[in-house]
Structure 1
Amino acid sequence: MNNIALGELVLTNARIVLANEIIEGSVRVDGGVITDIGTPVRKGIDLDGDYLIPGLVELHTDHLETHYAPRPKVRWNPVAAVQAHDAQIAASGITTVLDAIRVGLDENSDMGAVEMKTLTGAIAAGTKAGRLRAEHHIHLRCEVSAPDCLESFNLLKDDPQVRLVSLMDHAPGQRQFASMDAYKTYYQGKLKLSDAELDDFTRRRNIESDSFAGPHRRAIAQACRALGIVLASHDDATRDHVEEAVALGIDVAEFPTTMEAAKASRQAGMAILMGGPNVVRGGSHSGNVSARALAEADLLDILSSDYIPFSMLQSAFSLAENVEGISLAKAVQLVTKRPAEAAGFRDRGEIVTGKRADFVHLRVEDGIPIVLTVYREGRRVI
C-alpha cells in the first residue's frame, strides 16, 4: 500500500469519536496527517452520519500462526499466510498490529525459532513491498519455561520490527492455569492425552518451569531494557508475581488472571491489557477473572484481540453498551489511544490534528459494529 501517493482526503457528515467526546462534522487530511476536525464542509466523502473512530492498535494477536500452521504438521506459504492474516486484521479495523511470534518450543507446538524467523521475514518482505494494509510490528511472546527460550529469543531480538516482548509461563497449577481442572480440560482437549499421559506431561512441564523460568525471565528482561523494547508480563495471578514483574521493569500487565493481580499491577503503574474474547464471551475460557469485572472496577486500560481479530472492536462497543461509567469515547480509547501509548506510538491512536490519519468508518447494526471502510495514513485500505 505504500506506493499510493498521499493526498487530500475529506470525510464529511460523520460522528467523530474523539478521546473524550463525540462530535458531528468533518475531518480533513493532507499528506496522511489530520489537518482539521469539525469544520463543516460541503465537498468530500459523505459518511451518512456513521461513526469515524481512530484506527485500532493491536498489541497481542496470535492470529498469524493459524494461517501459517492451519493444521498439525501443515505449513502454508509464509507470504500467503501473512497476506491472509493482514487482510483479516485490516478488515477488523486494525491499522497497527504487533504480530505475536512464539519464542520457546513447548510440547504444545512443533514450531521452533527457525520457522518463526521465516514468518518475521515474510512480514518484513510484505512491508518493504508495500502490499500490507495494516502496519505490522513484532511481539515476541517468550515461553520462559521452555528449554530453548533464551536461544530462540537471541535469534530474533535484534529484528528492528520487534516492539514488545512478553514473558509467559504456561506450566500447570499457576498463572493462566491455576485451576488444574481448567488445565486438564484445555490440554486434554487440545492434545488428546489420556489421564496417564497428561500426568507425565504435567510433571515434565513443572520440572522445566522450575529449571528455566527464573533465569530466562531475568536474562530476557535485561536484554530488552538494553534494547529499549517494551516489556509485558503474562497471566500474573498473585501480588508476588506482580512484584517480580516490577523488579524486571515490566511496563504492561497482559491478562492478569485475578482481581488481586490487577489491583497490584495498577498500583505499580502498569498498563493492564485484557482480551476482547473475554469481554465478548462474558468471561475467561480458563476460568480466570472477567475482563468486564476489571472494566467495572476501572482496572482495564487496553483491549487486545488475542485470537479473534474482530473481538477488539466488538468488545469496545460491548463495554460502552453494558458497563456503567464507560462511554463510547472511553471504550474506543482501550483499542486505540491507550495501546498506542503503551507501545510508544506517539503519532497515532486518536483523532487529533497533526496525528496520522488512521480511521475506521463503521455503523452499528443489531448491536454489532460493522466496518465499512478503513484508512491508513489517509489512504483507503478496506
Structure 2
Amino acid sequence: MTDLRLSGAHVLDAEGWTARDLAWSGGIIGEADAPAVDLEGYRVLPGIVDPHGDGFERHMAPRRGALRAAEGGVVATAAELAANGITTGVMAQFWSWEGGMRGPDFAEHVFDSVARTRDTLEIDLRLQLRLETHYLESFARAEAAVARYGIDYVVFNDHLPHDRLAEGRRPPRLTGQALKSGRNPDAHFALLLELHGNGEAVEAALDGLAARLRVAGVRLGSHDDADAETRAAWRARGVGLSEFPETEAAALAARAAGEGVILGAPNVVRGASHKGNASAAELIAAGLCDALASDYHYPAPLAAVLRLVETGLCDWPRAWALVSSGPARLLGLGDRGDLVPGRRADLVILDRTDRVVATIAGGRVAYMTGAVTERFLRAG
C-alpha cells in the first residue's frame, strides 16, 4: 500500500489543526485515487527531521570490539528513529583524537555500514562528520571520507580542555578517557598537550579546509559556540549553522547574522542544559531557535514539543516547526517538513495520548503499532 488517503484525522498545518483528507501517490503528497484509511481520533503531523543525533552508538557498538559488521546496527537505528516519529535522521559521528567510538577508524566503520544499508531503509538516514578542530594530522583523512561517502554536513568541535593544558595540568577524568581511547594515561596526556600546541596552525588549517568543503557543496556548522566572538570567527569561514550555542550571546549573534540555530531537545525536556549552558526553552521563548535536535536521545524531539505546548511557550504549529520545517530548511531539504502537495509523504500519526503509533516515510510504512494497524489493514 504505497498510495493511500487518510481521512477523519486532525492534520497539523502551518496555521493549526484542520480536519481534512491527506493523500499521497508515489511517495509524494497530492491527489490520489487510493484506498482510504479511517483515522478518526488520531492526529497526523509532518515527519520529524532530526538534524543531529548520536544515540546510535549503542546500536553500532553495543560492546567495544564485540561486533565487526554494523549493518544490523544501522537497521536498528533506523527502527528506533521511526518508532519516535523521525523520518529524516542525521547521524552525528565524531572524528576525534578521543579515539574509540569517536575515532576515525570507528567513524569510517559507521560511514561504510550506512553506505551499504541506507538504500534498504524507509527513513532517510544521513551523515554528519563532527571534526575536532585541533586534530590537524587527520584533516586530510576526514576530507577524503567526506568525499568518499558523499557526506554533505560537517560540524567543527573543540573538546580540548585548553585552560588546564595551558597550565600543564592533567584534566579531570583523564584516566577513564585514556582507557576508552586505548591509550595509557601518560600517552593520552602527551597527546592532549601536543594537540593544544597546534594552536597557531589551527586557524589557517581551518580556513583552508572550510573553503574547500564549501566549494564541494558541504554544509558547515560549529558546535558549542561559547560567545559572539566565537560565532563571528566561524562566520568568517562561511560556517553558517550554530549547533547548541552555550550562551544567549552566541545565539543572538547567529540570529543577527541570519544564521541557523540548532538546540538540543533534551535540554527542553529537562528544563535546563545538563552542562549548565543556556536554557533551550529560554532561547526558544526569545525567538533564538530554528530547530531542535535529538542529540543523545531519540524520543526527545516529540517530548520537547509536548513540553513546549504544555508550558504554553509555543502553540502546536510553532513547536512542531522546530522539529520539522525548521530543521528541513537548515539542511536544505526543501522537499519535506510540512504536509502540502508536492512534498515527500513523510508523516507521523499520534494517538489520543500523543504516542507515536505510525510513521510513514516517503509514502511507505516505517513503523506501526497497536490499534491503528487494524485500520490500515482494513483499507487494504
1:65 to 57, 66, 81: 57
1:51 to 21, 43, 46: 43
2:69 to 72, 77, 84: 77
Local SS of the residue matching 1:225: helix
Task: Give 5+ residue unaligned stretches, structure 1.
Answer: 1-5, 175-182
Partner Cα distance (2:195, 2:279) in 1: 26
**TM norm structure 1:** 0.85
Partner Cα distance (1:67, 1:276) in 2: 21
Q: CA deviation at 1:154?
A: 2.0
Give the structure 2 partner of residue 350 of structure 1.
338
1:113 to 104, 110, 118: 104
1:97 to 77, 86, 89: 89
Partner Cα distance (2:146, 2:193) in 1: 27
Give the structure 2 partner of residue 136 of structure 1.
125
Partner Cα distance (1:317, 1:27) in 2: 23
Contact 1:221/1:249 (<8 A) preserved = yes
Contact 2:3/2:35 (<8 A) preserved = no
When residues 221 and 43 of structure 1 are mapped into structure 2, their CA distance, relative to the original with a 3 A threshold, is: same
Give the structure 1 partner of residue 140 of structure 2.
151
1:380 to 335, 355, 365: 365
Local SS of the residue matching 1:283: coil
Give the structure 1 partner of residue 21 of structure 2.
26
Give matches, 1:158-197, under 5 Å. 158-159=147-148, 161-172=150-161, 184=172
Give the structure 2 partner of residue 179 of structure 1.
none
Q: CA deviation at 1:144?
A: 1.2
Comparing 158-167 with 67-76, greater Cα deviation is found at: 67-76
Give the structure 2 partner of residue 88 of structure 1.
80
When residues 133 and 208 of structure 1 are mapped into structure 2, their CA distance, relative to the original with a 3 A threshold, is: farther
Partner Cα distance (1:192, 1:48) in 2: 55
Runs (4+) off by over 4 Å = 187-193, 199-203
Contact 1:172/1:205 (<8 A) preserved = no
Give the structure 2 partner of residue 3 of structure 1.
none
Give matches, 1:197-212, under 5 Å. 200=189, 204=193, 207-208=196-197, 210-211=199-200
Aligned residue pairs, count: 356
Deviation by residue 1:230-251 (Cα, 9 ceiling, x = unmatched): 1111111111101111101122
1:13 to 8, 13, 27: 8
Give the structure 1 partner of residue 376 of structure 2.
none
1:362 to 350, 362, 367: 350
Verify: 1:126 aligned to 2:117, yes or no.
yes
Give matches, 1:186-335, under 5 Å. 200=189, 204=193, 207-208=196-197, 210-211=199-200, 213-324=202-313, 326-335=314-323
When residues 203 and 123 of structure 1 are mapped into structure 2, their CA distance, relative to the original with a 3 A threshold, is: closer
RMSD (CA atoms): 2.8
Deviation by residue 1:337-379 (Cα, 9 ceiling, x = unmatched): 01111111111110011111111001352xxx31101111211
Partner Cα distance (1:189, 1:112) in 2: 16
Contact 2:100/2:106 (<8 A) preserved = no
Deviation by residue 1:133-182 (Cα, 9 ceiling, x = unmatched): 311121111111224330331221213541211011112268xxxxxxxx
Contact 1:147/1:208 (<8 A) preserved = no
Give the structure 2 partner of residue 339 of structure 1.
327
Partner Cα distance (2:347, 2:24) in 1: 11
Q: Which amino acid aligns with 1:380?
A: V
Local SS of the residue matching 2:30: strand
Give the structure 1 partner of residue 377 of structure 2.
none
Q: Which amino acid aligns with 1:331?
A: A
Partner Cα distance (1:281, 1:138) in 2: 27
Contact 1:236/1:257 (<8 A) preserved = yes
Partner Cα distance (2:241, 2:235) in 1: 10
Local SS of the residue matching 2:100: coil
Contact 1:167/1:217 (<8 A) preserved = no
Q: CA deviation at 1:47?
A: 1.9
Partner Cα distance (1:205, 1:237) in 2: 23
Contact 1:67/1:85 (<8 A) preserved = yes
When residues 66 and 213 of structure 1 are mapped into structure 2, their CA distance, relative to the original with a 3 A threshold, is: farther
Q: Which amino acid aligns with 2:51?
A: L
Deviation by residue 1:221-274 (Cα, 9 ceiling, x = unmatched): 112211111111111111110111110112211000001101011001111001
Local SS of the residue matching 1:354: coil
Task: Give 5+ residue unaligned stretches, structure 2.
Answer: 164-170, 368-380
Comparing 355-364 with 153-162, greater Cα deviation is found at: 153-162
When residues 284 and 75 of structure 1 are mapped into structure 2, their CA distance, relative to the original with a 3 A threshold, is: farther
Partner Cα distance (1:287, 1:189) in 2: 22
Contact 1:143/1:149 (<8 A) preserved = no
Partner Cα distance (1:161, 1:42) in 2: 36
